Copies of this chain bind each other. A is one copy, B any other.
Amino acid sequence: MAIPRAAKTQRRTRIQEEKEELILEAALEVFSSNGFRGSTIDQIAEAAGMSKPNLLYYFRTKEAMHRQLIDRVLFTWLEPLRVMDAEGSPEAEIRSYIRRKLEMARDFPRESRLFANEILQGAPHIEDELTGPLKELVDEKAEVIRTWAKAGKIAECDPYHLIFSIWSTTQHYADFDVQVRAVLGRSKADENRFENAALFLEQLFLDGLKLR
């Protein structure tokens, strides 16, 4: 007898692992470019090359897929902030934080847009994660930044708004990609937009924080 859902089996099959990955990849593609409500299970199923009921054999509901994607993204998305080291030099730490975030915007734009979509609509599925783990991590790193400022290693500034501004400027290149490219047009400026952004942002933040 077939067990109702793959999730109920004790050990996941090789097929299960492969298909779930396939589905999540397809779901990321679809969700990130159409939003949650704008995406249909049929679209995801087609992108994953399988029938709708087959997809629903692996994920009970549309929400389940979305949920798993969001959880995953939220975790990896915070990695650059997590590795910011209180013991390191402020200049190097902030510079590499910006660089890492910008690389993520370049290499994982779908993940960024998925997250942006969720927040834009009021984060209906992840309020707890925001006020819980996210807030805790930011509080911790804000304290690090504040310590740097107190020690005179960096200009006095509101650490929370500093973090917000790094988030927003870097993610802009993923979330608002269409706009950025429309404005830059077909040009070298467009092709090199990530390098140019890196140079500009480095200058902006390092000078803005009187780090050099």
Enumerate chain A interface residues (CB-CB to B < 8 A): 33-38, 113, 116-117, 119-123, 127, 130-131, 134-135, 138, 155, 157-158, 160-162, 164-165, 167-169, 171-173, 175-176, 178-180, 182-185, 189, 196-197, 199-201, 203-205, 207-210
Contact = CB atoms under 8 A, between A and B. Distances in A.
A183 B120 contact: no
Given A37-B38, A122-B33, A130 B207 contact: no
A98 to B, nearest CB: 11
A204 B205 CA distance: 7
B131 A182 contact: yes
Contacts of A134: 179, 182-183
Contacts of A130: 178-179, 182-183
A113 B121 CA distance: 9
Nearest to A198: B161
Nearest to A185: B135
A155 B205 CA distance: 13
Contact of A121 (B35, B122, B172, B207): B35
A166 B1 CA distance: 60
A91 B203 CA distance: 17
Contacts of A207: 155, 207-210
Contacts of A122: 33, 178
Contacts of A131: 182, 185
